[in-house]
Amino acid sequence: MSKTIRLGTRLRYPITIVRLLKSPGEPIKKQEPLLEYSFKWMREIVDEIGGNTRQEEQTTTVTWDSPTDGELAQWHITEGQRIVADRPCMVVKEECSHAVQFGGLCAMCGKDMTEVNWAAETRDTARAPIHMVHDQTYLTVSEDQAQRTEEKLQRRLLQSRKLSLVVDLDQTIIQACIDPTVGEWQKDPTNPNYESVKEVKSFQLDDGPSDLARRCSYYIKMRPGLQDFLNRISQMYEMHVYTMGTRAYAQNVARVVDPQGKLFGNRVISRDENGNMFAKNLQRLFPVSTHMVVIIDDRSDVWPRNRPNLIKVSPYEFFKGIGDINSSFLPKRQDLLTSDATTNGLGKKARMKESGQKTEKIDAALKADVDMTGGDDPALTKLQLEEQERAFEKQIKDRPLQVLQEKLDKEDEEAEKATVQSEDGSESRSSSPPPQRHRVLQDDDTELQYLEKHLTYLHRTYYAEYDSNRASHATTGNVDLTSVPDVGRILEELKGKVLQGFKIVLSGVLPRGIDIYRSEIGLQIMSFGADLLPKIRNDVTHLVVNTSQPGREKLLEARRRPHIKIVSQEWLADCFSRWEAVDETPYLFTARLVGEEEPDNKPKDDAMIIDEGEDAEAENEMSNGKRNKGLKLKLVPASGQTRELKPVGEDDEDNSEDSDDSEIEEGLLPEDLPDGQVSPIDSLKTFNWDSADAELAEFLASGSSDEEDDDEDEDEDDDDDDGDYVNDGGEDQEDSSSSDDSRDRRARRSRSRSKTASPSSPSRKRKSYDDDEEAGAESADGDQTPAKRLRRMQSQRTSSLRNQYVAGEDEQQQGDNSGLPTPLGTDDADGKQQKEVNASPVPIEEGGEEDDDLDFDEAELEAEFEREFEREFDRVGAETEAEEHVLGEGNVGGEDTEKG
Amino acid sequence: MFFLHNLERRVTLHPSYFGRNMHELVTTKLVKDVEGTCAGDYYIIAVMDTFDVSEGRILPGSGLAEFTVGYRAVVWRPFKGEVIDAVTQTVNPHGFFAQAGPLRLFVSSHLMPDEIQYDASATPAQFTNNADIVIEQGTHVRVKIIGLRTEVGEMWAIGSINGDFLGCLQA
């Protein structure tokens, strides 16, 4: 146990060895001076008189202390030697190498390893950094010790002609669930699932993640044929359990699977000892060499470093929709190949429904975290523990199995009903005991048969190679560690022959945006010796499609090449599990896509054309709409294709901005009020602002004729656009502009809409009026704007006079344009209000119609009067008024035609 | 080694327990708090009696009453060099773990007689000299402590069965 000691990096090199204090053979103690050395350094000396500093070389002699205990065996340095850098200085025969440590203590000498010592550069705990014991994290060993231990292990294995087999629990050899329904079914022999769950074992844990989980039972279903499988395999392999469950869980399951402890012994490692929540690592158990270790696991992504040694098993799903109860720490699995759509669609669906949103959300977040932290983040761990707890509670509460069974029962009932009805309603049938109910739990897994075959094959091949190696080395003795072949390599060779020469393209199997060469499925395909190609080429042999959502483009392309076998993903899964190129015939994917042409009755050129036209659109559809819906798989005549694809494009063309706008407007504007109900703004809707404004302008005589003309010109340029004025006018106009806009839009809407506007609705009327106004009279529009400006200015100070005008115009317009009966309430209120404000001479008691007339007359008269009065001053205003009237006449006509 | 040890501890009591039998409650709480814990160098095995319960002092801010309790307890302190009996828990190629009451011991294969070797092929795995000595899970062993390390609430020990009268007790 001699150890070479270095001087260390902390010395002030270069140094000169002055004296060696100990001679070889002497015992040395930690922190005891062993040698003296000197070094030179510059000292800064301050000249007190001059005030300046200078450097002076100093030589200092110090001692070097021993970093360790033991006996000095040999010096590598001599007195007087000048040393410029860190180098080995002596060999010490140590009393103890501290190669095995337990909880900070050396397990060989009992010394405390956690003591930090100024003389030593490294801590003693660093001497034994390797965890290699299954059930402990406190026990660590040094590399030497690990190597020795492993060598012993290999010797033993070679002697008994065995290999090591690391076995995963969940979904590989068993499936666990905590749904209490299982327990109830076990007690109820009449239950259709009784036969299936009879064999299910259960136990309770006292270290569950929560109280709830502590009280619940874990139900363990062994994979069919597991006992025989393990017994036979244990002849060839020494088995270890490596699970992501807790320690207690792992031990209990091991007890269920292996009651005598013959198969696994205490070779059980769980996530508690793994040191990593997200990945398993063979180096945790076999730190030196994994040449003799095979793994069986249902997930390959948890073995990032040991992929060659892994035989991936198809996951065992007995309790439908439960999955792996201990997988909440792991990233979501990406490698589900067994098409759940057919074999256990029910389970898949249920699972998707239950855990879909939740896991997706959290997993995405977690995965990002995991990638960054790589593991030992306590906060993350806590989060995941909580997550698992939630999942547990959910399972206990929701009882997914019961739900599934009930669903099945219901289906059965319906089916039964149907049959009963079809059989002339023979009532006697229903009194007889009900026919066999379907059961949720089917125990029809055959994976272990194949697995045993593979493991046997692998074992045989391995020892054949070992024997031939040994023969060539011609060594004596019963074991030869140098000729141990690497089982990972052999496994890869064996697997690589399976699909050799196949060129496979995937379609719809992987989500978009995933690198196929790094995906689980892609890696697996390649590990079986097949070439994975991203696109259909002429030398492609197989197209693997996801039967529930095949990718359109590749499928069509492959159909054009008859030599490409289009198979469902089950084919791939079966090839993987059987290690042979399975006959494709039962897996051929023959369903036609919607809109796909029949290959027989269409000439090839034609197909090409269609494809070209289709590709872009099909691509689009796949990426947004169709993908979600899933392609309909049914036979559709070739003619159906155009119809299927067309509507999107046509819609876009047809519904130009108008319809779009109207669509938006529909949402923004309140619905038309039902008849009889009075809207507070009804009167405003029917109000003709333009004429009022014109009149107001006229009345106030603010606009000089020049200005008016200018405005007119401008407006003729951009007639609909009020924006200019808005910008000129300042903040106050902001709202009015928007109201104008909305009015325009409303107009447009009314135009685009089929003219079914009910004549009684004032708002409709208003719209159609606007419409016509815009269409017909540009000049009116031109006047409208400056007038509006005035109106806005006026609206701040409420002029009673103006109000009167407003009311007048309102009534006038109604009378004038439509000549229709307007809702009485509105008019009345309006009129009354106006009259009250204005103290108009008209009595309040008067009825609506008369009121109208009277108001109209009044307004008319007044307008006339003013026109006469101000004709000289304001010619333009008068013109406007006249136009207004003309317009009014026109409107009546227009509306009539509309109505008709 | 076991000791009777006079100890002192501050026990706090929630205001809802204030009343006539306060001192009993304090004692109960003390027993609940300290029995079976590892207090640095020793384990407190059992509280014998309390001989002095001080007057309660209300802690400002929380309203809890604090009592200083003097009590006598049986404590167990393992010493380096002490020989104790333990029960084997698990066996692995580097040695075996044994439990001596609350204390977990590790006995390395280096600290066993040379003839005792690890045998992995046995079920369960064992250390054996291929004769009378078999150390497997559940075996009672007599162990000499050669190293101890304590942390707050935790203690580790290294044992040795390399010596006279040490090792398997059933043999």
User: What CATH number corresponds to the domain at position A213?
Assistant: 3.40.50.1000
ipTM of the complex: 0.89
Residue A94's Cβ-side half-sphere holds a number of Cα atoms within 13 Å equal to 17
Regarding beta strands B42-53 and B38-39, do their DSSP bridges make them parallel or antiparallel, or are they unpaired? antiparallel
**What separation, in Å, do the N-terminal and C-terminal C-alpha atoms of chain A show?**
113
Higher pLDDT, A840 or A876: A876
Q: What angle do CA A722, A746, A794 make, to 5 degrees?
A: 45
Residues of chain A contacting residue B93, judged by C-beta atoms under 8 Å apart: 133, 149, 152-153
- For position A19, which CATH number holds? 2.40.50.100
Question: A267, A234 in Cβ contact below 8 A?
Answer: no
Pair A1, A136 in one domain? no
pLDDT at residue B83, rounded to an integer: 95
**Cβ within 8 Å, pair B92-A138:** no
Arithmetic mean of pLDDT over chain A: 69
- Among A474, A476, A472, A458, CA closest to A292: A458
pLDDT at residue A474, rounded to an integer: 66
Pair A141, A212 in one domain? no
- Among B98, B90, B119, CA closest to B167: B98
Strand order in the sheet with A100-102: A105-106, A100-102, A139-141
Higher pLDDT, A320 or A208: A320
pLDDT at residue A460, rounded to an integer: 92
**Cβ within 8 Å, pair A260-B123:** yes
Rounded alpha-carbon distances, angstroms, from residue A711 to A550, A774, A790: 64, 17, 13
pLDDT at residue A566, rounded to an integer: 85
Question: B147, A112 in Cβ contact below 8 A?
Answer: yes
**Cβ within 8 Å, pair B123-A103:** no
Smallest CA–CA distance from A97 into chain B, residue? B110
For the record, the structure tokens of A471 come out as: 């023969």
Region B26-30 average pLDDT:
92
Q: Give the pLDDT band (50/70/90) at residue A822.
A: very low
Would you say residue B45 has pLDDT above 90? yes
Higher pLDDT, A815 or A378: A378
Would you say residue A534 has pLDDT above 70? yes
Give the residue from A397, A416, A435 where a domain finishes: A416
H-only helix segments in A175-270: 181-187, 194-197, 211-215, 226-233, 247-257
| Share in percent of chain B as helix, strand, coil (round to 5) | 10, 55, 35
Would you say residue A740 has pLDDT above 60? no
Q: At residue A345, what are phi and psi to the nearest 5 degrees?
A: -60, -35
Pair A690, A557 in one domain? no
Smallest CA–CA distance from B123 into chain A, residue? A262
Q: How far away is chain A from the Cα of B16, in angstroms, using its nearest Cα?
A: 27
pLDDT at residue B28, rounded to an integer: 92
| Cα A365 from Cα A358, distance rounded (Å) | 11
Smallest CA–CA distance from A98 into chain B, residue? B110
In a domain, A476, yes or no: no
Q: Give the pLDDT band (50/70/90) at residue B85.
A: very high
- Among A837, A849, A669, CA closest to A766: A669
Give me the domains of chain B, ranges plus CATH numbers. 2-76 (3.30.1490.120), 83-168 (2.40.50.140)
In a domain, A134, yes or no: yes
Residues of chain B contacting residue A134, judged by C-beta atoms under 8 Å apart: 92
Instruction: Look at chain A and report how many structural domains it folds into.
Output: 5
Query: Could you tell me what percent of chain A has a pLDDT over 90?
Result: 7
Residue A828's Cβ-side half-sphere holds a number of Cα atoms within 13 Å equal to 9
pLDDT at residue A810, rounded to an integer: 46
SS3 string of A752-767? HCCCCCCCCCHHHHHH
Region A543-551 average pLDDT:
78
| Cα A345 from Cα A321, distance rounded (Å) | 9
Nearest CB to B94 within list A106, A133, A261:
A133
Pair A89, A104 in one domain? no
Would you say residue A626 has pLDDT above 50? no
In a domain, A566, yes or no: yes
pLDDT at residue B135, rounded to an integer: 92
pLDDT at residue B103, rounded to an integer: 92
Q: How far away is chain A from the Cα of B71, in angstroms, using its nearest Cα?
A: 32
Pair A583, A686 in one domain? no
Region B6-24 average pLDDT:
91
| Cα B73 from Cα B50, distance rounded (Å) | 9
Residue burial A7-41, b: 16+ Cβ < 10 Å; e: rest:
beeeeeeebbbbebebeeeeebeeeeebbbbebee
Task: Give the other-Cβ count within 10 Å of A388's Cβ.
Answer: 20
Would you say residue A603 has pLDDT above 60? no
**Cβ within 8 Å, pair B123-A261:** yes
Higher pLDDT, A595 or A185: A185
Q: Give the pLDDT band (50/70/90) at residue B47.
A: very high
Q: What angle do CA A429, A434, A439 make, to 5 degrees?
A: 145
| Cα A856 from Cα A814, distance rounded (Å) | 9
pLDDT at residue B105, rounded to an integer: 93
Pair A106, A45 in one domain? no
Radius of gyration, alpha carbons of chain A: 45
Among A27-31, A99-103, A403-407, A813-817, whose mean pLDDT is lowest? A813-817
In a domain, A443, yes or no: no
Higher pLDDT, A3 or B80: B80
Pair A778, A861 in one domain? yes
Higher pLDDT, A869 or A754: A869
Arithmetic mean of pLDDT over chain B: 91
- The predicted-structure confidence for A294-345, as pLDDT tens digits, reads as follows 999 988 888 888 888 998 888 888 887 777 777 766 666 655 554 433 333 3
Query: Could you tell me what percent of chain B has a pLDDT over 70?
Result: 99
Q: Give the pLDDT band (50/70/90) at residue A421.
A: low
Would you say residue B75 has pLDDT above 80? yes
In a domain, A325, yes or no: yes
Region B21-27 average pLDDT:
90
Strand order in the sheet with A82-83: A53-65, A33-46, A15-20, A82-83
Residue A898's Cβ-side half-sphere holds a number of Cα atoms within 13 Å equal to 26
Would you say residue A143 has pLDDT above 70? yes
Q: How far away is chain B from the Cα of A134, in angstroms, using its nearest Cα?
A: 8
Q: Give the pLDDT band (50/70/90) at residue A623.
A: very low
**Cα A642 versus chain centre, distance:** 34
- Among A121, A92, A148, CA closest to A10: A121
Pair A116, A191 in one domain? no
- Hey, is A36 helix, strand or coil? strand
- Size (chain B), residues: 171
pLDDT at residue A746, rounded to an integer: 52
Question: A306, A253 in Cβ contact below 8 A?
Answer: no
| Cα A748 from Cα A658, distance rounded (Å) | 7
- Among B37, B75, B45, B74, CA closest to B154: B37
Would you say residue A145 has pLDDT above 80? yes
In a domain, A473, yes or no: no
Among A72-86, A556-570, A782-796, B142-156, whose mean pLDDT is lowest? A782-796
Region A77-83 average pLDDT:
90
- Among A517, A604, A514, A504, CA closest to A556: A604
**Cβ within 8 Å, pair A112-B90:** no
Q: How far away is chain B from the Cα of A108, in angstroms, using its nearest Cα?
A: 6
- Residue of B38, B83, B110, B161 to mutate for A, most A C-beta atoms under 10 A: B110
Give the A:B interface size as CB pairs under 8 Å: 84
Region A144-149 average pLDDT:
90
- The residue segments making up the domain with residue A618 are 495-653
- The predicted-structure confidence for A779-815, as pLDDT tens digits, reads as follows 444 445 555 555 555 555 544 444 444 444 444 444 4
Pair A365, A510 in one domain? no
Q: What is the DSSP letter of B17?
A: G
Nearest CB to A139 within list B91, B106, B146:
B106
- Hey, is A139 helix, strand or coil? strand
| Cα A7 from Cα A308, distance rounded (Å) | 43
Query: Could you tell me what percent of chain A has a pLDDT over 70?
Result: 57
Region A445-451 average pLDDT:
86
Region A562-591 average pLDDT:
83
In a domain, A487, yes or no: no
Among A44-48, A452-456, B25-29, whose mean pLDDT is lowest? A44-48
User: In one letter, which amino acid is A788?
Assistant: K
Q: Is residue A752 exposed (0-12), middle (13-18) or buried (19+ Cβ within 10 Å)?
A: middle
Would you say residue A393 has pLDDT above 90? no
Q: Give the pLDDT band (50/70/90) at residue A420.
A: low
Would you say residue A745 has pLDDT above 50? yes
| Cα A606 from Cα A512, distance rounded (Å) | 29
In a domain, A440, yes or no: no
Pair A804, A835 in one domain? yes
| Cα B102 from Cα B41, distance rounded (Å) | 13
Pair A744, A842 in one domain? yes
Question: A221, A174 in Cβ contact below 8 A?
Answer: yes
Smallest CA–CA distance from B121 into chain A, residue? A156
Pair A33, A122 in one domain? no
Task: Give the other-Cβ count within 10 Å of B68's Cβ.
Answer: 15
pLDDT at residue A645, rounded to an integer: 38
For the record, the structure tokens of A789 come out as: 């400006």
Give the residue from A372, A393, A416 where a domain finishes: A416
Residues of chain B contacting residue A262, judged by C-beta atoms under 8 Å apart: 123
- The predicted-structure confidence for A151-202, as pLDDT tens digits, reads as follows 988 988 888 899 999 999 888 898 888 887 888 888 888 877 787 788 888 8
